[in-house]
Chain A
């Protein structure tokens, strides 16, 4: 554990600390930025952008070498990747707007073709500078081994830019995500806001190439927002939660990766985020699987409880084992199936509730209130005491239930 703790507390050397901070910042920016792509149901657009960076990286290398420079200058490579990724995104937009192909087909076509062109250019580079190892393959899966201080600064600056863009435009972006037609009617230029959304994702994609590579940056744009969605119903909060999930995954993933050999940074970060996603899916309140299961169990218990008491009120024997167990646990019924005093009282109360509901549904005009009858809701939750008194007057005095 010690190497891991060292890495987590930035004590594992200069490079490991840089990578951890850089990956944390990247994760935060990508999680927050990806939120609107996800809400707009365009999460996989980031996949097209990411794959479309490859030809840009290769072209930038070729151009820089042709101009007599060092082809491996990171800023130059990132600039190239940003240009082709932007072309890729514009192409997707154009295909969707001008042909009858759907967005998923456009994304897939751009992704495959741009990546194919990138691979062709990579083989060109292999032949033109056979003596020099270009190392551009690192952009496929990321490589943090030689990360420099200026690389971390590039990530920080780009991340801050994407984050600022997302935060400044969160209101129009929310509007466009949930109701693009309304946004148009309210005077927003939807295409321009979409463009801004994609620009933010593009910036994150480009700065993520160095750390996690083009295949896995997609994961950092998609997984944190999907996980964050389980925890909140508010867009404003979702941005920060997604950012936090991405940031923690990035930081912890980089630390874990630095703590032992053969743990590549990109995949570890993605698997961290995936772990958070699975935990959210299972255990998030309200939307999580566990919460839904408990809700369902409670509902079932309520139905059985109520139906059991109604059976007692009608003096019918209860044979269903789950109901019997439920009522016995609350001491409403004895082990031999005979209701206790408390059971008879509860039964009388439930039976009265049913009768009140019968009257209420017969005489009350407001369907919005009487429509809330589901055989479970106590009538006190819906009608006022005065109204209930009126129902009681029509029913007559209470009647004791015989055991």
Chain B
């Protein structure tokens, strides 16, 4: 736990935790609203957004890409609503039509444009490169108080911290509204809460969290973190406050354990190279969900038979 750890592992772990928490927070509400797959849809449509942003701006820079990805996420959400309403298609299929089409368009654009010279490829988008977000200038724990070294922190860390802080703030500010509207939309409207805009806002906020996390850690973590920690938390408690806290704990645990196992696990097993940290974080979150499915105190539906009948 010396200088090497600070150099090579501290920032990826921090970014992993921030990305996981930023996605898990809105995930709690998406799961309760049966919109869990919106994270999956968004993480696919981010690709065309990034490609278009690159084609328009001509540079691989964070800001245009974030804007492009956010714009494409909003376009996708609007298109899904449009197909649902105009075509009277059920939500899941509408989502499937829109996100696969946009993803296909993104891949086509990528192949057509001359992006071979820059680091922009589908695999990178899917898998992220958490391992490369290192802090080379750090000399040890003391660097945390050294302004010169701090200036060389990977910029993803600052952006991810900002995104995570925004998600926490939004969750706290809209807590009461979200809670009421999620469980009883009619009651919420009777109270004067704008339930429909709130639902749309939740999806947009999720999109922003997904886009910020996507840039840093790839889409696998985004998809897994939107669903696995909140789903596991849902099986631990029937209280929304506690569920959100559990989900944050699970998300953090997944990020730390996943990163450590990816980086050091192969060494312990006698291997020589590390494996994908993003994949491992998703896998760990799956293990946590699996354990919650088997042993979570609130895993069954209220009123379901012990023998596991479908309620």
Identify the A interface with B (CB < 8 A).
38, 41-44, 46-47, 95-102, 104-105, 107-109, 111-120, 122-124, 127, 137, 140-141, 215-216, 218-219, 222-223, 225-226, 229-230, 262-264, 266-268, 270-271, 274, 277, 281, 287, 289
| Complex interface: chain B residues within 8 A of A119 (CB) | 126-127, 220, 276, 278-279, 282
Q: What are 27 A-to-B residue pairs whose CB atoms are below 8 Å?
A: A42-B92, A47-B40, A47-B96, A101-B31, A104-B35, A105-B227, A107-B37, A108-B39, A109-B289, A112-B225, A112-B228, A112-B286, A115-B223, A115-B279, A116-B283, A117-B282, A120-B276, A120-B283, A123-B279, A127-B272, A218-B100, A222-B96, A266-B107, A267-B103, A267-B107, A287-B88, A289-B87
The digit string for B155-174, where 1 denotes a CB below 8 A from any CB of A, is 00000000000000000000
In the complex, the answer to whether A104 meets B36 with C-beta atoms within 8 Å is yes
Measured in the bound complex, the distance between the Cα atoms of B37 and A101 in whole Å is 13
Known A109-B286, A112-B282; 16 more pairs at CB < 8 Å: A42-B92, A47-B37, A105-B36, A108-B37, A109-B231, A112-B227, A116-B280, A117-B283, A141-B122, A215-B44, A215-B100, A218-B96, A222-B96, A264-B111, A281-B83, A289-B87
Contacts across chains A and B counted by CB atoms under 8 Å: 218
**B79 CB to nearest chain A CB (Å):** 11
Binds A, one of B138-146, B179-187, B298-306: B298-306
Nearest A residue (CB) for B227: A108
**B213 CB to nearest chain A CB (Å):** 13
| Complex interface: chain A residues within 8 A of B36 (CB) | 102, 104-105, 107-108
Contact of B300 (CB < 8 Å), options: A100, A225, A277: A100
Residues 101 to 137 of chain B near chain A (Cβ within 8 Å): 101, 103-105, 107-108, 111-112, 122-123, 126-127
Identify the B interface with A (CB < 8 A).
31, 34-37, 39-40, 44, 83, 86-90, 92-97, 100-101, 103-105, 107-108, 111-112, 122-123, 126-127, 220-221, 223-228, 231, 234-235, 262, 266, 271-276, 278-283, 285-286, 289, 293, 296, 298-302, 304, 308, 310-311
In the complex, the answer to whether A117 meets B83 with C-beta atoms within 8 Å is no
| Complex interface: chain A residues within 8 A of B224 (CB) | 109, 112-113, 116
Measured in the bound complex, the distance between the Cα atoms of B98 and A274 in whole Å is 9
Measured in the bound complex, the distance between the Cα atoms of B295 and A362 in whole Å is 68
**A18 CB to nearest chain B CB (Å):** 21
| Complex interface: chain B residues within 8 A of A127 (CB) | 266, 271-273, 275
In the complex, the answer to whether B101 meets A116 with C-beta atoms within 8 Å is no
**Which among A38, A113, A268, A277 has the greatest number of chain B C-beta atoms within 10 A?**
A113
Measured in the bound complex, the distance between the Cα atoms of B296 and A342 in whole Å is 79
Measured in the bound complex, the distance between the Cα atoms of B109 and A268 in whole Å is 11
Measured in the bound complex, the distance between the Cα atoms of B113 and A263 in whole Å is 11
In the complex, the answer to whether B127 meets A222 with C-beta atoms within 8 Å is no
Measured in the bound complex, the distance between the Cα atoms of B96 and A38 in whole Å is 10
Measured in the bound complex, the distance between the Cα atoms of B289 and A216 in whole Å is 27
The SS class assigned to the B binding surface is helix
| Complex interface: chain B residues within 8 A of A102 (CB) | 31, 34, 36
**Which among B34, B234, B289 has the greatest number of chain A C-beta atoms within 10 A?**
B289
Measured in the bound complex, the distance between the Cα atoms of B37 and A102 in whole Å is 11
**Which among A112, A223, A226 has the greatest number of chain B C-beta atoms within 10 A?**
A112
Nearest A residue (CB) for B220: A116
* Also in contact, A109 and B87, with CB within 8 A (given A119-B276, A222-B97, A223-B97): no
Measured in the bound complex, the distance between the Cα atoms of B310 and A274 in whole Å is 36
Nearest A residue (CB) for B121: A137
Measured in the bound complex, the distance between the Cα atoms of B278 and A97 in whole Å is 29
| Complex interface: chain B residues within 8 A of A99 (CB) | 235, 293, 296, 299-301
In the complex, the answer to whether B90 meets A41 with C-beta atoms within 8 Å is yes
Measured in the bound complex, the distance between the Cα atoms of B15 and A301 in whole Å is 62
